[in-house]
Every structure is written in structure tokens, then in C-alpha cells.
Amino acid sequence: MMFIYGVGSQELQYAWSVPTLHYPIICESYFLLYLMTQYLSPMLVLGFTTERYIAVCHPFHKERLCRTGRARRVVVAMAVCCTLLAAIQVRLYRYT
């Protein structure tokens, strides 16, 4: 739902010159969410691919390495890392 609203707002802003993102908090938070999801998608694919690699190529180590708790911690760490990376870029944006 947020994606549809975000894309619609951005389309209205840039294509039709309707001021939808011209508010200080909305502008920065929109780009933070936009960039965070762009960074998080390939990171999650990398995490799932690594888990599948371990399961297929190292099946005897799978029980030790691939656990639900560890997977949750890795996903949260990836989300935090991508949020911080996006926050650095959002900090460079200026509201005008």
C-alpha cells in the first residue's frame, strides 16, 4: 500500500508538478524508505542464496549454521545496515 502511495506521489510530483513531497519530514522519510527497500531487496536475496548454498553444498554443517534465530538476527542486521546506508544518502538531500 505504501508503495502505491509512494509511486503515485512521486509521479504527481515530477511528471505533473503537483506538490506532494514538498514537506520537510515527508520528503526525507519518503526517500529513506525508497532507498532502504532498494538496498534491502538484493541483500535479502544474498542471504537466502547463502542459506541455500550451505544447505546444498555443506549439508552436515546446515544444522549448526542455519537456525531460525540466527536467520532472524541476520535479517534484522541487514535491515539496520541498509537503513543506515540509506540514511547517509538521505542526509545529503536538501529540502528546498
Query: Residue 37's CB: how many other CB atoms inside 10 A?
Result: 14
Residue of 44, 51, 52 lying closest to 79 (CA atoms): 44
13 in any annotated domain: no
Number of domains in the chain: 1
pLDDT of residue 23: 67
4 in any annotated domain: no
Q: How confident is the model at residue 48 (pLDDT cuts 50, 70, 90)?
A: very high
Q: Domain span at residue 53?
A: 24-92
pLDDT of residue 89: 83
88 in any annotated domain: yes
Q: What pTM did the predictor assign?
A: 0.71
78 in any annotated domain: yes
Q: How many helices (H) and strands (E) does the chain have?
A: 4, 0
pLDDT of residue 90: 78
